[in-house]
Structure formats: C-alpha cells, structure tokens
Amino acid sequence: MSVTVRVPAKVNVQLAVGGARPDGFHDLANVFLAVGLYDEVTVRPAPSLTITCAGPDADQVPLDRTNLAARAAELLAARHGISPDVHIHIDKDIPVAGGMAGGSADGAGALLACDALWGLGSSRDELLAICAQLGSDVPFSLVGGAALGTGRGEQLTELTVGGAFHWVFAVADGGLSTPAVYAEFDRLNEGAAVPPPVASPALLDALATGDAASLAASLTNDLQSAALSLRPSLAATLSTGTSAGALAALVSGSGPTTAFLTKDEDSAESVAAALMASGTCRTARVARAAAAGATIVNA
C-alpha cells in the first residue's frame, strides 16, 4: 500500500518585505501563485523513517531528518502518538533551492500523504497548522491556486484567478540560501526605514481578471536586489528573457530561479528557447498557472 501526492511549485507575483522582526523573520505581503511544475511524494509503510529522491537535482536534496518531508511525517506522527515509520520517495522536478518552494512542496506533500496512509482524516485547519510549523511557504504548497500570505507568509487568504497565465522559469546553476538572501536584504536596507508591506490592489485585480499585461505591469519582488547582489549574473538572464519577448521578468522568491510572464503559450515556448540558447541559465521550463495545490493522485 502506498499514497502518492502531487504538489506544485510557486512563484511570488508580489513579494513585499517589511523590516526584520525581533524573531528574525520579516513581515510580508506575499502573493503566491502556484505553477504547473510538480514534485511527487510517495509514502509507504517501512521499518523506520527513510527518504529517497529521484530527478535531475536529486543529489542536492538532503535525505536526513532536515528534509521537510521527514519533519512533516514526524510532526504528524507525534501529534497522534504514533511512530513515523514510512519510506518517503520524492520524484523531484521543482528546482532545488531555487526560490520556487520545492522543499516546502515536499513537506506539504508528505504531510497529506502520511495523513491518508495512516487514515488520520486530519482537517484542513489541522494540516495547515502543521504546515505553518514546518515553514513560511508550506501552507501555500498545500492550498495552491493563488493566495495572499501575511505575517511571515504563512497566514493565507485565497485569491481568485480569472484566467491562465503562461510562464517560463530559467533555472540557474546552484541554489541560493533563503536566510542569506533575507540577510542581504537587511544589509542593503541598513539604516533605511522599511515601510510596512502592503498587497498591491492593481496586482490583485490583474490576477482576478486574468489579464497578463496588467499582471506583468504590477509584478514586484523586494528580494530581487538582494538576490542580484549575491548573484549578479542573474541580470543577464532577466534581460535575455525580456529581449526575447517576455512581458516582464523577475527573480522568483529568494532566487536564483528567474521567472518570465508571457502573453501566451507560443510566446512562452520562444522565450524558453531563447533562454536555453543564451547560455545565461542551466535550463528553461515552461509552466502554466494557476495550478492546484497538493493533491492525492493514487492511494
């Protein structure tokens, strides 16, 4: 017996970052959009908790208890007084340490899969509370679609999406550490008064109407300068995509994946081809949004 859950990647169409809080986190107005690149997480009974991973970047994925999938199984089991005796297999297609919430996706996927395998029937709210314990982006991986994340990003308000958006993601060589990017954000803003983060009404409206040109005009990421400061070569990737016809380009979350919004599927294919030919990224992937959240695909 096994349970497999499919979980999407995300891009932040707005990432407004406030000043550092006493707990080290930053208050956010974080507009998440789930995109159609997926990891699949399969759990089955085993003598003890073990993890394997397959996929092009599998060698960069930790297979110990630091993996969010393992922590999800442990937290859920502890809450129910049982042992987390499962084998977790991750089929990884989301870039690792890329700013697309791949690790968070695996945490949400393992949580939903273990809940089904163990027949626990946890409510959505119980699962979301464990997701928030696992990390700021994990609740969104469970929910998918589009949502505004406030607090440190874990308090979600679901948003309406009025049409399909076509994206290209340029995958960089090597990852960026999220804490390092936030630390660089703090360094770049030292001494400055960082305004409280607020969601952009124009951006929410563009999502609701499904208008790609309006969404392109309102995309913002306050972590972009920090990611570019740590990885200056991303500037060339961004300009390659816009020269090839993307409506807009930005760093995805804390990077180093860069995201390109295009007007339609054909344009996405040609932007992806230009990015791959340019040598400014490792590969480029086309994906459509919004994608569904974590979903059981076999049980």
Residues annotated as catalytic are 10, 137
User: Residue 221 is encoded by which pair of tokens?
Assistant: 């990421």
How far is residue 7's CA from residue 233's CA, in Å, rounded to a whole number? Answer: 30
179 part of the interface to ligand C5P, by CB under 6 A: yes
Based on the shown chain and the rule CB under 6 A, indicate whether residue 255 belongs to the binding site for ligand C5P. no
Size of the site for ligand C5P (CB under 6 A): 12
Shorter beta-carbon distance to ligand C5P: residue 26 or 89: 26
Number of other CB atoms surrounding residue 270 within 10 Å: 14
Q: Which of 136, 119, 110 is nearest to 39 (CA)?
A: 110
Q: Does 153 bind ligand C5P (CB under 6 A)?
A: yes
The distance of closest approach from Cβ of residue 42 to ligand C5P in the complex, given in angstroms and rounded to an integer, is 24
Q: Single out the segment in contact with ligand C5P by CB under 6 A; choices: 18-26, 57-65, 223-231, 270-278.
A: 18-26
Among the candidate windows 25-33, 72-80, 88-96, 158-166, which touches ligand C5P by CB under 6 A? 25-33
State yes or no: residue 25 binds ligand C5P (CB under 6 A): yes
Tokens standing for 39?
């990891």
Rounded Cα–Cα distance for residues 271 and 170 (Å): 10
- Residue 41 belongs to what H/E stretch? strand 26-45
Residue 67 interacts with ligand C5P (CB under 6 A): yes or no: no
Tally of CA atoms within 13 A in the half-sphere of 214 that contains its CB? 14
Q: Output the smallest distance, CB 225 to ligand C5P, in A.
A: 15
In the complex, minimum distance from the CB of residue 297 to ligand C5P, in angstroms, rounded to a whole number: 25
Q: How far is CA 289 from CA 17, 35, 148, 244, in A?
A: 23, 5, 15, 21
H or E segment to which residue 270 belongs:
helix 265-278
Does position 137 bind ligand C5P by CB under 6 A? yes
Task: Indicate the SS3 state at residue 7.
Answer: strand
Is residue 178 within the footprint of ligand C5P (CB under 6 A)?
A: yes
- The yes or no reply on residue 38 touching ligand C5P (CB under 6 A) is no
Q: Are 68 and 106 in contact (CB under 8 A)?
A: yes
Residue number, 28 or 259, with CB nearest to ligand C5P: 28
Interacting residue ranges for ligand C5P, rule: CB under 6 A: 24-26, 28, 135-137, 152-153, 178-179, 182
